[in-house]
Amino acid sequence: MNPDPKSAVSPNGVPVLRSVEPRFAMPGGEIRIVGEGLMPRPERPRVNIGQDPASILFGSDTLMVARVPEDATSGPLTVETALGTSAPADVRVAVPIAENLHPVANPAVDSDGNIFATFSGARGQAVPVSIFRVDTNFNLHPFLTGLMNATGLALDIENNLYVSSRNDGTVYKVSPLGELSTYAQGMGVATGIAFDAEGNLYVGDRSGTVFKIARDREIFVFATLEPSVAAYHLAFSPNGNLYVTGPTTSSNDAIYEIDPHGDMSVYYRGLGRPQGLAFDKDGNMYVVASYKGRRGVVRFTSPQDPSIVVSGNALVGLAFAPEGGLVLATTSGLNFLKCGIEGYLHRPLLG
């Protein structure tokens, strides 16, 4: 938790922390520290996260920005000077759980806690393993081969995995045993996918269309957006609306809100390269993006209240795991963060 500003008094010049934000971070992420007595002259202070020293990117007597070490673990953050050491502030650091992958969208977590992520590859590139599974002990297993450019992932209640391919515009269904079948075809450069509460599947075509696939596999054009340079990312909130990001070359990208009738509006504009998104059970939105020059996971309790809650670079997606866990996907692997936030999960029964 952040220290209480009302109790922030600096006796004898000992550093005092007023706030430490965000309190969740990836290795390499940036933490902002506000306080008093942080950098007395001429001594150089030391910022520790647990037992690991963090590099100081910016420093003054009342504000510091520190980078989380690559090998840091969760623990108390303190500022240490020649005059003393501050009281601790808890910082939780994500743990790497899988490397040498290539996710391009959200990972997926089944009801047993298994995590699925892609090795997507460049468009048209055949790779040895298309999808990997990380079990509940964080062991990595090949799960599916032979699917080119696996992109978006979604699960139903029976733990069948649905996978889009941006190579052929097809959505595939994969059983828990890894048996592959075609679910729907003909959706352009198919990227992000998401189920609504009734079991309709929505697919983002990078050229600008969001398709709706009904339970009987009939395909409709649901909404039209501006084209994306990378991929669309889709997620449903507890209010039943679909939210979509599609990064462009702009630093002023939007999150789109689409109601069940297909009517679209801009939920928020002002993010840099927004990608994967998800919701907690209270309806708060979490989006991987840059906000005010800082990269990480941005939480929206409303369109008027964005804030960075996880600091980190190279993020492309996220997914909530059981018991307050958060899986964070980078361009090359997966990380796990014990954050205590319960995600919103809805998985339709499609049998």
- pLDDT tens for 201-259 read 999 998 889 999 999 999 999 999 888 877 899 999 999 999 999 998 888 999 999 99
Q: Confirm if 344 and 283 have CB atoms less than 8 A apart.
A: yes
* Beta strands at 89-93 and 24-25: parallel, antiparallel or unpaired: parallel
Q: Confirm if 76 and 90 have CB atoms less than 8 A apart.
A: yes
Q: How far apart are CA 267 and CA 142, in angstroms?
A: 38
User: Tokens standing for 200?
Assistant: 């309709």
CA 30 to centroid of chain Cα atoms: 16
pLDDT for the residue numbered 350: 82
Q: Sheet of 140-144: strands edge to edge? A: 108-109, 115-118, 131-134, 140-144
pLDDT tens sequence across 6-47: 444 566 889 999 999 999 999 999 999 999 999 887 778 999
Q: Confirm if 215 and 182 have CB atoms less than 8 A apart.
A: no
pLDDT for the residue numbered 248: 86
* Beta strands at 201-205 and 150-155: parallel, antiparallel or unpaired: unpaired
The residue behind tokens 């939780």 is 92
Residues of the chain with pLDDT under 50: 1, 5-8
Q: How far apart are CA 31 and CA 308, in angstroms?
A: 10
What lies within 8 Å, CB to CB, of 170 at 6+ separation is 164, 182, 183, 184, 185, 186, 187, 190
User: Tokens standing for 182?
Assistant: 């075609």
The alpha carbons of the chain give a radius of gyration, in whole angstroms, of 21
Nearest to 285 by CA among 301, 274, 304: 301
CB atoms within 10 A of CB 88: 16
pLDDT for the residue numbered 21: 97
Ramachandran angles phi, psi of 94, nearest 5°: -65, 145
Ramachandran angles phi, psi of 13, nearest 5°: 80, 5
Q: Give pTM, 2 decimals.
A: 0.94
pLDDT for the residue numbered 161: 98
Domains defined for the chain, CATH in brackets: 5-93 (2.60.40.10), 95-338 (2.120.10.30)
CB atoms within 10 A of CB 142: 13
Q: How far apart are CA 159 and CA 294, in angstroms?
A: 35
